[in-house]
Amino acid sequence: MTQASRISKWANSHHLNDDERLQLARYSSNELEDAFYQDIEFGTAGMRGLMGIGPNRINRFTIKKATIGFGLYLLKQFDEALSRGVVIAHDNRHQSRDFNDAIAATFEAMGFKVFIFDELRPTPELSFAVRHLHAVGGIVVTASHNPKQYNGFKVYDENGCQLTPIKINPLIEIIAGLPEAIEVIVPPSEVTGQIITLGRDIDELYLKAIWGISLHPELPKQDFKVVFSPQHGAAYRLGVRVLEEMGYRVFPVVSQCYPDPNFTNTKSPNPELLEAYEEAIKLAKEVKADLIVITDPDADRVGVCYRDKGGKYVRLTGNQSGALLIDYVLQERAALGKLAHNGIVYDTIVTSPLGGKIARGYGCAVESFLTGFKFIGDRIDFYEKTGGPHFEFGYEESYGCLIAPFARDKDGLQALLMYTEMTLFHHLNGRNLGQQMNIIQKRHGFHADGQFSIDFKGVTGTANIAEMLTRLRRTPFKPIGSFKVVQFEDYLTQVRKTEHGQFAIALPSSDVIKFTLEEGSSITVRPSGTEPKCKFYYSAVGKSASELKNKVAALHQLLCTTYHINC
């Protein structure tokens, strides 16, 4: 089907309402081309994209098609799919509740039992609920930290884990075999479905599990203050309870507490960006808070700022906050006799090596995966069933971590509690988080990590990314400035190359490449699975913090210059 005929099919469809027809008519030529040149893709976190009309947009038609595809997938996978049912949750974004209810109605029409929440909920609570209710799957309507124009559709398996490639590929095939989104029809069912609304009982069970991970609930909290912002998202009600009912003095950023799809009072809902902390820092200065914690809109990630000795609020990267938390959790579990003799910590191939060094220092094994928390959740399940190592901690560089596996996705509510407890623990011992990080780095080596992104928008974006990666692969051992490359890993071909030969990489195939430099630093290049951009991850090592001050930015410029990348 040509793009023109596809546009005509949508424009002339009787399924469009007046508002949708008007929206389509108002598209510029570039917007029209981008909305219709492909079907919206499932990537590393399901389906995510701009909202609007067209097959390459998030709308009620593409959501319906994905829902039907997931329903057909579940019916193939489980004999008891209809009776065990699915759980659906949503965040604060435009149309999220409408999509939530439309998904529920579609599943009901297909004969499924459907569990929905009475209002928005954190993504990790969906994972918890799937497991608690023994459902066969789950869906969260969210675009995570993306701007307000975006929404998305995350799918979860029966373990409360996002689908790994071996599971999602059959789902993608089913969806691809369905009619055009504007024409897809819900398959009839001989069984009557049922929609069940979940109340606060699931909240209480989830909160009880979170409070149970505390290692030192007895710590005195009267002189310790915490500023918290949910960034207009799903964490406000439960996030405040997580901390207050453990005795913490919490100061919410009131202007950012109510669910708002426009994110009116924050410059960004993404904890990876400094502007996301502006209002929280203002409040922290007023109340002289010791800690700032913010969640992203679907509450699966947490950003952290601490107050240094001079009263300045310093934002930690996800690598730094994760390393600090690994050190605290493993140290205190060991002190309390709770650290397993066969413990294991999970990270990803783009995460700083510092966390792994800390874990090994406490006698834990370390296993690294491709980007995407689904790989960590899936491995937890595998080892539970096969008697493998005991899960101690899992994290990604992008502020997501999991401390206890009653959820199988990164859990911002768990992280809220444990980052706060960790900071209080060190505070009572006379140290802020920066001072504790310095202690860790003196013990395990100095590390600096950073990330850069390059956008490749429009129809040619994918081709431009592919061409750039081809150039990088063509001369993998070309010196990057004065730095010699000693190892090149191509996760697409699953081959690791060194001066000693080639070796297999025991991970799923993925379009990612990684350079390791002679002095120990590394550069990883990964196209985003959900956005038209390519990400560059840098992990620099050195003998002191001052040596590393500008090294990440310098490595990025050297890579761009060496390979003629427009940075």
**Positions marked active-site:** 144
Tell which residue, 481, 495, 496, has the closest CA to residue 556: 481
CA 459 to chain CA centroid, Å, is 26
Three-class SS state of 311: coil
Helix (H, G, I), strand (E, B) or coil at 373: helix
Whole-angstrom distance, CA of residue 351 vs CA of residue 395: 8
Query: What secondary structure does DSSP assign to 131-161, as a single string?
Result: HHHT-SEEEEE--TTS-TTEEEEEEE-TTS-
**Phi/psi at 537 (nearest 5 deg)?**
-110, 130
**Inter-residue contact 414 to 402 (CB < 8 Å):** yes
Strand-by-strand arrangement of the 150-156 sheet: 42-43, 46-50, 150-156, 137-141, 86-90, 113-117, 194-198
Amino acid identity at 145 = H
What amino acid is encoded at 219 in this protein?
L
Could you tell me how many helices (H) and strands (E) the chain has, helices first? 18, 23
Instruction: State the Cα angle at 227 between 222 and 229, rounded to 5°.
Output: 145
| Angle at CA of residue 59, ends 56 and 65, nearest 5° | 80
Contact 318, 311 (CB under 8 A): no
Residues facing 504 on adjacent strands? 495
The strand pairing partners of 87, in sequence order, are 115, 138
Find all residues with CB under 8 Å of 22, minimum gap 6, and list them.
Answer: none
> Which tokens go with 243?
């901390």
Q: Which position has the token pair 């609570």?
A: 125
CA 494, 554, 400: angle at the middle one, nearest 5?
A: 55
| Cα–Cα distance, 544 to 101 (Å, whole number) | 54
* Alpha-carbon dihedral sign for residues 98, 101, 107, 109: negative
**Structure-token match 């997501």, residue found:** 400
